C-alpha cells in the first residue's frame, strides 16, 4: 500500500514542482509577463506541434486508430457539458459567469499537464494519446464556441465567433497531428538530422509549458469567486473523471485506455479556456480563478486517482 502511494506521489508531484519553480522565478523577477507570453507562443506554435507530429509519425495508425475509444471520449465530453449545464441551472444566473463555469468544468489541460502525467506514470505518452488529441481538441473548441455564444449577448459576438472558428482551423496542434498522420500513412523517412533536431524541441515542450503555467499564477486573485471556482473544480477533477472511469471499466477498456481516459477527463482546466472566454466576452475573472483553483487541487486528486489505479492493478 505504501509503495503504491509513493508511486502516485512521484507521478504527480514532479509536475507541480516544475510549476512551483515557474512561480518562484516570476516572484524573484527572473522571468516576467513578456517571457511567459513569448514562452507560451513558443510551446504552442513550435515545441508542442513538433512533439505531436513526432509521436503521431511514429505510431502505427492502422493498429491504434480505435474508433470505439474515440467515440467514447467524444461522447463523454459532450455529455459532461450537458449534465453540468443541467445541474447548475438556477445556481449560476449571470450568463457570463455560466459560460466561464461550463467552459472551465469540461476543458482539461490535456496537452501540458495530461501528457506530463502520462509520461511520469508509464514512461511515454502512449500510442493513442496523439490520435486522441486530433479529435478532442477540435471538440473542445467547438463546444467552447457553442457554450460561450449561447451565454453571451454581446453585439460583436458573431464577428468574434468567426475569428475563433478560423483559429480552430489554423490550430498548429491540429495541423501537426494531421501532417503526422499523413507522414505515417505514406511511410515517410526522415533524415537523421531532422529527427535529432525535432528531439530537442520534444524535450523542451513539457518543462517550458509547466514553467509558464506556474509563472502565470496569481494567488492574490484566488479568493474571488471561490465557491463557484471550487464547484467547477469538483466537477472537473472528481465527478466527471469518476463517471468516465466507471463507464470505461464497465465497457471493458484496457488498463492503458482507462488511464488515458482518466487523464483526458481528470486533469485541471486548460489555460486556453481563459483566452477563449475573454475573446467570447465571458467572465474573465471567474475563468482565471477556475484555472488556478483546479490546478492547485489537482495535485491532490491526481495523486489519489493514480493511487487508486495502482491499488486496483490498473497500473
pTM of the model: 0.77
Tell me what the mean pLDDT of segment 298-314 comes to: 87
Predicted confidence at residue 115, as pLDDT, reads 78
Predicted confidence at residue 61, as pLDDT, reads 58
Predicted confidence at residue 59, as pLDDT, reads 64
Q: Which domain holds residue 69?
A: 2-312
Q: Which of 72-76, 117-121, 152-156, 175-179 has maximum average pLDDT?
A: 72-76
Q: How confident is residue 77, by pLDDT bands cut at 50, 70 and 90? A: very high
In whole numbers, what is the pLDDT of the chain averaged over residues?
A: 81
Cell of 314: 490498473
- pLDDT over 90 (residue 186): no
290 within 8 A of 104, measured Cβ to Cβ: yes
Predicted confidence at residue 195, as pLDDT, reads 84
Q: List the single range of 156-160, 197-201, 224-228 with lowest mean pLDDT.
A: 156-160
Q: How confident is residue 125, by pLDDT bands cut at 50, 70 and 90? A: low
Percent of the chain whose pLDDT exceeds 70: 84
The torsion of the CA quartet 103, 106, 109, 110, rounded to 10 degrees, works out to: -140
- Which is more confident, 109 or 218? 109
CA–CA separation, 112 and 206 (whole Å): 6
Tell me what the mean pLDDT of segment 138-153 comes to: 78
Distances (CA, A) of 115 to 71, 85, 200, 224: 20, 28, 17, 30
Tell me what the mean pLDDT of segment 139-157 comes to: 73
What's the burial of 239, exposed, middle or buried (CB within 10 Å: 0-12/13-18/19+)?
A: middle
**What tens digit of pLDDT does each residue of 235-248 get?**
999 999 999 999 99
164 within 8 A of 276, measured Cβ to Cβ: yes
CA–CA separation, 256 and 128 (whole Å): 9
Cell of 166: 478560423
Predicted confidence at residue 307, as pLDDT, reads 87
Q: How confident is residue 162, by pLDDT bands cut at 50, 70 and 90? A: low
Q: How many domains does the chain have?
A: 1
CATH at residue 159: 1.20.1530.20
Q: List the single range of 6-15, 158-167, 173-182, 306-315 with lowest mean pLDDT.
A: 158-167
Tell me what the mean pLDDT of segment 81-98 comes to: 86
Predicted confidence at residue 149, as pLDDT, reads 77
**What tens digit of pLDDT does each residue of 263-295 get?**
999 998 887 777 677 666 777 778 878 888 888
Amino acid at each position: 500500500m505504501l509503495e503504491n502511494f509513493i508511486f502516485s506521489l512521484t507521478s504527480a508531484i514532479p509536475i507541480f514542482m516544475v510549476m512551483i519553480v515557474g512561480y518562484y522565478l516570476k516572484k524573484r523577477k527572473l522571468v516576467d509577463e513578456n517571457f511567459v507570453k513569448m514562452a507560451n507562443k513558443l510551446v504552442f506554435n513550435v515545441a508542442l506541434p513538433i512533439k505531436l507530429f513526432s509521436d503521431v509519425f511514429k505510431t502505427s495508425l492502422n493498429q491504434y486508430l480505435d474508433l470505439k475509444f474515440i467515440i467514447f471520449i467524444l461522447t463523454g465530453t459532450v455529455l459532461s457539458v450537458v449534465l453540468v449545464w443541467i445541474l447548475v441551472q438556477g445556481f449560476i444566473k449571470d450568463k457570463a459567469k455560466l459560460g466561464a463555469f461550463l467552459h472551465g468544468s469540461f476543458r482539461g489541460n490535456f496537452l501540458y499537464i495530461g501528457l506530463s502525467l502520462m509520461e511520469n506514470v508509464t514512461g511515454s505518452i502512449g500510442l493513442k494519446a496523439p490520435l486522441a488529441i486530433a479529435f478532442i481538441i477540435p471538440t473542445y473548441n467547438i463546444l467552447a464556441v457553442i457554450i460561450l455564444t449561447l451565454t453571451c449577448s454581446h453585439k460583436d459576438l458573431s464577428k468574434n465567433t468567426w475569428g475563433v472558428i478560423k483559429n480552430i482551423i489554423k490550430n498548429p496542434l491540429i495541423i501537426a497531428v494531421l501532417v503526422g498522420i499523413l507522414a505515417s500513412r505514406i511511410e515517410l523517412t526522415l533524415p537523421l538530422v531532422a529527427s535529432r533536431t525535432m528531439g530537442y524541441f520534444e524535450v523542451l515542450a513539457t518543462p517550458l509549458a509547466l514553467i509558464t503555467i506556474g509563472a502565470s499564477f496569481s494567488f492574490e486573485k484566488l479568493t474571488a469567486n471561490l465557491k463557484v471556482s471550487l464547484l467547477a473544480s469538483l466537477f472537473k477533477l472528481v465527478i466527471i473523471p469518476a463517471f468516465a472511469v466507471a463507464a470505461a471499466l464497465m465497457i471493458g477498456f484496457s488498463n492503458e485506455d482507462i488511464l488515458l481516459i482518466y487523464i483526458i477527463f481528470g486533469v485541471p482546466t486548460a489555460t486556453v479556456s481563459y483566452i477563449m472566454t475573454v475573446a467570447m466576452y465571458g467572465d474573465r475573472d471567474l475563468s482565471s480563478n477556475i484555472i488556478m483553483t483546479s490546478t492547485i487541487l489537482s495535485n491532490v486528486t491526481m495523486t489519489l486517482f493514480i493511487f487508486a489505479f495502482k491499488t486496483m492493478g490498473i497500473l
